[in-house]
Chain A
Amino acid sequence: MSALLEVDSISVSFDGFRAINNLSFNIGEAELRAVIGPNGAGKTTFMDIVTGKTRPDKGDVKFGTPSKSLLKMNEAQIAREGVGRKFQRPTVFEDQTVAENLTMALKAGRNPFAVLGWRPSKASVARVADLAAEVGLAAQVARKAGELSHGQKQWLEIGMLLAQEPRLLLVDEPAAGMTLAEREQTTALLVRLAETRAVVVVEHDMDFVRRLNCKVTVLHQGSVLAEGSLDHVTRNPDVIEVYLGR
Chain B
Amino acid sequence: MTRKPFILRNPSILVVLAVLAAFTLVVTALSAAYGNGVIPTSTVKVLGKTLCLALAAVAMDLVWGYLGILSLGQMAFFALGGYLIGQWLMYARTEGIVAASLAQNPIPPTAQELQEGVANQIFGVVGSADLPLVWSFAHSLPLQLLLVVAVPGLLALVFGWLAFRSRVNGVYLSILTQAMTLALALWLFQNDSGFRGNNGLSGLQNIPGLDAVDQATLSVWFLWASALALALAYVLAAWVVSGKFGSVVRAIRDDETRVRFLGYPVEGFKLAVFTLAAMITAIAGALYYPQAGIINPAELMPIASIYLAVWVAIGGRGRLYGAIIGAVVVSLLSSWFTGGRAPAIRLPGYTVNWVDWWQVALGISFVLVTLFAPKGIAGLFDWLAGALPPQRHGRDLGPDQGALQEGEAKA
Contact = CB atoms under 8 A, between A and B. Distances in A.
Contacts of A119: 3, 243
Contacts of A85: 261
Nearest to B411: A144
B244 A115 contact: yes
A91 interface: yes
B254 interface: yes
B62 to A, nearest CB: 13
Given A100-B247, A122-B1, A95 B261 contact: no
Interface string A63-78: 0000000000011110
Contact of A74 (B247, B260, B262, B269): B260
B269 A112 contact: yes
B281 to A, nearest CB: 19
Interface size class of A (residues with CB under 8 A): 35 or more
A125 B300 CA distance: 47
A104 B260 CA distance: 12
B152 to A, nearest CB: 19
A142 to B, nearest CB: 12
Interface size class of B (residues with CB under 8 A): 20 to 34
Given A95-B404, A111-B265, A125-B1, A118 B243 contact: yes
Given A95-B254, A112-B269, A146-B397, A75 B248 contact: no
B406 interface: yes
A202 to B, nearest CB: 15
A78 to B, nearest CB: 8
Contacts of B250: 93, 95-96
A80 interface: yes
B264 interface: yes
Contacts, number: 91
B244 A103 contact: yes
A79 B271 CA distance: 20
Contact of B260 (A75, A103, A113, A120): A75
Contacts of A104: 244, 247-248, 251, 262
B272 interface: yes
Interface in A80-130: 80, 84-85, 87, 91, 93-96, 100, 103-105, 110-113, 115-116, 118-122, 125
Interface of A: 51, 74-77, 79-80, 84-85, 87, 91, 93-96, 100, 103-105, 110-113, 115-116, 118-122, 125, 144, 146, 160, 164
Interface of B: 1, 3, 240, 243-245, 247-248, 250-251, 254-255, 257-258, 260-266, 268-269, 271-272, 392, 397-398, 404, 406, 409
List of 8 A-B pairs having minimum Cβ-Cβ separation, nearest first: A79-B263, A75-B260, A95-B409, A80-B263, A112-B272, A116-B245, A94-B397, A93-B251
